[in-house]
Amino acid sequence: MTSYKMKKYITKIVMIAILIATVISCKVSKDIETPKDAFPENFRSASASTDTTSIGDLEWKNFFTEKDIIQLIDSAVARNNDLQIATKNIEIAQYRFTQSKWGNVPQVNLFVNASTSNPSDNSFTGMNLNQALGQKHIDDYSAGASLSWEADIWGKIRNQKKGAYAGYLQSEEVKKALQTTIVANVSKGYYNLLMLDAQLDIAKKNVQLNDSTTNIIKLKFDAGQVTSLGIQQSEAQRLSSAQLIPLLEQNIAIQENALSVLTGSFPNSKQRSIQLSSIEVKNNTAIGIPSSLVSRRPDVKSAELALKVANANVGITKADLYPSLKITAQGGVNSFETSSWFNIPASLFGTVAGGLTQPLLNNKKVRTQYNIAVAEREKAVLSFRQSVLVAVSEVSDALVKVEKLQLQEGFLKERVKTLQQAIKNSNLLFKNGMAEYLEVITAQANLLQSELELANIKREQLSANTELYRALGGGWR
């Protein structure tokens, strides 16, 4: 066969295949969209609103204003090992998507083959070989190219592209979701560090106050106005306050180490250029509507993309149930002597074949794979609904925390103020013999506990605002 005839036959078969694919091409499976009823109209603890603006749209550098937090988050985004792993996963997914684009391109391979065979002298081939060539072996030399192409009649290759692209986008959403968590954890860790600093300062001041009270009791003991029990009670209260100091210092070091891990560095101290009391708790009222979470929350978007991947897999496995049209061609030069191997056109050869292949004995296996893909798609729908439930619940939780913690802080501030006044009054009355030492000690213990709680409430308020920001999808921009 001449090269001209070979090209002519290949062109004819390819044109027939394209014509068949164009005429009978159809979508063998129908995609399932994300359920519209998965979202409630409004968040719990939020008034009915149609405003779609949300603090989740803010870049984290605009949401967090403290210089130390911005530096820590910058370091975490750049150096956190989990985020770097997620970046590599995106790179891998991109390679897979790029590879899927070549699904419609024919597979072409170059080959060079050489073989020799020694048939039996008593075989038909051996006897004729000896008579024709006067030798007992025959050589064969080939060089050329082979082509293989499958027509995408049922959308199998198209669905492979869709699935790979959705998988690539999903890997990006996974990284975004991880970043929102890391940004939130860094900020909450820093707020916790400031709370521990405040509590350490409270404990040290309380020890000083206990020392002052103990000295007064000792003076009264020397004057015979109280027993040694008063000194012992006061000393016990001082030791209780002093015990908090190493405990808080321990917790500070542990929190600093945790922040070091998040920021991709070895354990070290963390700079604090601001105090807990000087940070203003933001009043974040812009939360948007629940249906907007699919565009803001990476985990919800990832669940939506997982459904697209499942849709693509259903299409791929459904296409496997139908006949596939494949075209193969091979051409080059062939000779049984090396001297005439590249003798053109005498050594030219070519073969072209095209045919439909329908699963028969393995049809049950292919159909089972299709049924599994359908079940996986149903799981993807349920996973999407669950991701929405979790997202809406987290936003609702954060909203009620922000509201109720503010009320708790108001009551606790009044309690601290009252106890501070009680300390002054009890000390004055005790010095003048109008109060017992137990009243002074009790007032000091109550003030210590209340001040520690107030610092903790402030930290919880800041963390609740951060959690609301994260729950609304903020932190990855």
DSSP string spanning 287-302? B--GGGHHHH-HHHHH
DSSP string, 27-44: -SSPPPPPPGGGS-SS-T
Structure tokens at 176: 């975004």
**Hey, what are 297's tokens?**
């929350």
Give the position of tokens 């081939």. 125
**Sign of the dihedral defined by the CA atoms of residues 4, 10, 13, 16, in that order:** negative
Decide if 417 contacts 459 (C-beta within 8 A).
no
For residue 398, what are the CA distances in angstroms to 45, 50, 236, 392?
10, 20, 40, 10
Which of 44-58, 84-98, 342-356 has the weakest average pLDDT?
44-58
* Residue closest to 59 by CA, chosen among 84, 77, 83: 77
Rounded Cα–Cα distance for residues 3 and 315 (Å) = 39
Closest C-alpha to 326, from 359, 362, 358, 357: 357
Under the banding of pLDDT at 50, 70 and 90, the label for residue 256 is very high
Mutual angle of helices 67-79 and 228-262, in 10-degree steps: 50
The reported pLDDT for the residue numbered 354 is 77
What was the pLDDT predicted at 46? 66
Q: Average pLDDT of 158-178?
A: 86
Q: What is the mean pLDDT of the chain?
A: 82
Q: Is the pLDDT of residue 345 over 70?
A: yes
Q: Tens digits of per-residue pLDDT, 129-138?
A: 776 666 777 7
Q: Which of 368-377, 429-438, 443-452 has the lowest mean pLDDT?
A: 429-438
d(CA 331, CA 348): 7
As a whole number, mean pLDDT of residues 23-27 equals 50
Backbone angles phi, psi at 434, to 5 degrees: -105, 5
Mean pLDDT of 291-301: 85
Q: In whole angstroms, how far apart are CA 207 and each of 79, 213, 230, 233, 236?
A: 41, 10, 17, 14, 11
CA 2 from centroid of its chain's CA atoms: 58
Question: Residue 380 has what pLDDT?
Answer: 92
Nearest 5 degrees, angle CA 72-CA 76-CA 77? 120
Share above pLDDT 90 across residues of the chain, in percent, rounded to a whole number: 23
Could you give the CA distance from residue 304 to residue 343 in angstroms, rounded to a whole number? Answer: 61
- pLDDT-derived band at 1 (thresholds 50, 70, 90) equals very low
> Residue 420 — φ and ψ, nearest 5°?
-65, -40
Question: From the CA atom positions of the chain, what is the Rg in Å?
Answer: 39
> How far, in Å, CA of 365 to CA of 68, rounded?
59
At residue 306, does pLDDT exceed 50?
yes
Q: How far is CA 256 from CA 55, 183, 189, 236, 261, in A?
A: 28, 16, 8, 31, 9
The yes-or-no verdict on residue 477 having pLDDT over 60 is: yes
Query: CA torsion angle for 400, 403, 405, 409 (degrees, to 10)?
Result: -170
Order of all β-strands in the sheet with 138-150: 107-117, 138-150, 324-335, 348-357
In terms of C-beta density within 10 A (0-12 exposed, 13-18 middle, 19 or more buried), how is residue 117 classed? Answer: exposed
In this structure, what are the phi and psi dihedrals at residue 106, rounded to the nearest 5 degrees?
A: -60, 145
Question: At 381, is the pLDDT very low, low, confident or very high (cuts 50, 70, 90)?
Answer: very high
User: What percent of the chain is modeled with pLDDT above 70?
Assistant: 86
Helix (H) or strand (E) holding 307: helix 298-319
Cβ(45)–Cβ(399) below 8 Å: yes
Distance between CA atoms of residues 120 and 278, nearest Å: 99
Residue 435, pLDDT > 90, answer no
Instruction: Assess whether pLDDT exceeds 60 at residue 352.
Output: yes
Higher-confidence position of 226 and 250: 250
Contact 181, 189 (CB under 8 A): no
Q: What is the pLDDT of residue 23?
A: 46
Give 287's contacts (C-beta < 8 A, 6+ positions apart). Answer: 43, 46, 54, 55, 56, 395, 399, 468, 472
Q: Using alpha carbons only, give the angle 289, 295, 299 rounded to the nearest 5 degrees.
A: 105
Question: If we measure between CA atoms, which residue out of 96, 83, 159, 122 comes closest to residue 315?
Answer: 159
Rounded Cα distance, 394 and 287, in Å: 12
Q: Which one-letter amino acid corresponds to residue 328?
A: T
Cα distances from 271 to residues 69, 268, 373, 412, in angstroms, run 10, 10, 53, 29
Summarised one tens digit per residue, pLDDT across range 44-68 is: 766 655 667 888 888 999 999 889 9
Top pLDDT among 224 and 348 is at 348
The per-residue pLDDT for 467 is 92
* Predicted pLDDT at 220: 67
Residue 5 is predicted with a pLDDT of 53
Distances (CA, A) of 36 to 14, 30, 291, 382, 430: 44, 17, 9, 13, 70
| Residue 437: per-residue pLDDT | 65
pTM: 0.79
In this prediction, residue 208 carries a pLDDT of: 82
**Tally of CB atoms within 10 A around 320:** 20
Would you place residue 24 in the very low, low, confident or very high pLDDT band (cuts 50, 70, 90)?
very low
- 417 pLDDT exceeds 70? yes
The predicted pLDDT at position 191 comes to: 94
Residue 150 in 3-state DSSP? Answer: strand
Whether residue 214 has pLDDT greater than 60: yes
One-letter identity of residue 79: R
Burial 440-465 (b: 16+ CB within 10 A, else e): bbebbbbbbebbbbbbbbbbbbbbbb
pLDDT of 22 above 70: no
